[in-house]
Structure 1
Amino acid sequence: MFHTVCSLLCSVLTLCLFLSNANCAPQQGHELPPPVTKEIAHEWPISPDWQKSTYTFHKEEFINPKIVEAMQGPFADSGSQIVSINVHNANISNQFFSQVHVRTTNTMPYVYYKEQDNEFGYTFVGATSSGINVVHTLSTHNGSGIFHTLLFFIFTDSDSMTFGLEVAPKVQPTLTLIGSLPLGDRFAGTISLENDVLTVLPPKGFAQPLPLYSGGLILRFK
């Protein structure tokens, strides 16, 4: 009888350990497909002076993260939107005022603002030879998640109107959002931009698919 009880207890313990390991182990059994390769060829209306902008994503003076957050828009909205802003005026405006913090990393600085339980920040990934700026954003709201997005910006010269003694046309430098790629909650993969090739890969070791390209994306800018 004693040996029978011991045998049953050992069986139960073995089953519990198996179930525990199955729940905690990385999802290595679900392999993701290989990354999708895409090409995009387009002549964007980029200002010839885009590299001379006073405010940038990668060095002082940084573009205020509140501006980037407003251009990205709320997560409840679906589909990409084209948004432009006069970043030179917006960066010193009351509308987008916030205490900007900079956290040093091994690559590019992480620029962010924080208000109570909400935080929004970005890291500059790089720029293509044609002038498309790629920015990796992180957003948290009340601790419910850390949502990652890739944003694509260009600096362009826009036609506008000025009002005063006369109403006249004016060429005004603007920052324009031309695309966004959601990366999901707590993205832990890799992002790189080299030689006009953007590579976005999910983390190795377990299955964490990307929302649109589960196995990753390789985007070549032509």
Structure 2
Amino acid sequence: MPEAEVWLIDDEEQMLALLKQCLKHSPLHITEFDMPARAWDALLEGKPCDLILLDIMMPGEDGWTFLERLKTLEEPPAVIMLTALGDKEDVVRGLHSGADDYIIKPFEPSELTARVDAVLRRTSQRARPEGLSLSTKRHTASLHGNDLLLTQTEFELLRLLSGRPGQVFTRSQMLDHIDVPGHERYDRTIDTHIKNLREKLKTADPDTAWIETVWGIGYRWKEER
């Protein structure tokens, strides 16, 4: 099963560290944000995200407001609300506002991992295409059991595109996602990497064109039907 992209949003550094520690044995790729605005910018840049663990009480924009913003996205990630608020009305408000689950602090690590696993199973339609396996920790990928020998840039592009099948990414968005020196930041850089990635995917699966060109815009991962 490919790693899910899980984002932690909390203004308390200790809580971010605790959440990461609780989830360290799960097959997840975790990104931390100390404020919702930074996570929002990452979403607008096209960064893949399957699940957000969202604190409610934060200075500036709180979790409620950020949850409302998430609902404006065409395909918002799943959300688990994390808060010290134990009032039943807050639980109901969170669920009615679009959250997928609600965990009250303090919590047991086993409860957190169980709820994360449950939400990811329920939202498995956001998972990467069947047959494709990625490990961010080991930096490996395979398609239908065939290892893909990828460069770091090819791996990052594969992770970005396959994480959102059907979503079109511009070359600019892809350049922002990968580590490219300033003097190499031009559209042809992406085209070259995509060409090489396509050839490696074709070797593993000759019958499917996984990466589609959207003329005048960019590229997208083939949407399974």
TM value normalised by structure 1: 0.24
Structure of larger gyration radius: 1
Q: 1 or 2, which has the higher strand percentage? A: 1
TM value normalised by structure 2: 0.23
- Structure with higher RCO (Cα < 8 A, 6+ apart): 1
Q: 1 or 2, which has the higher helix percentage? A: 2
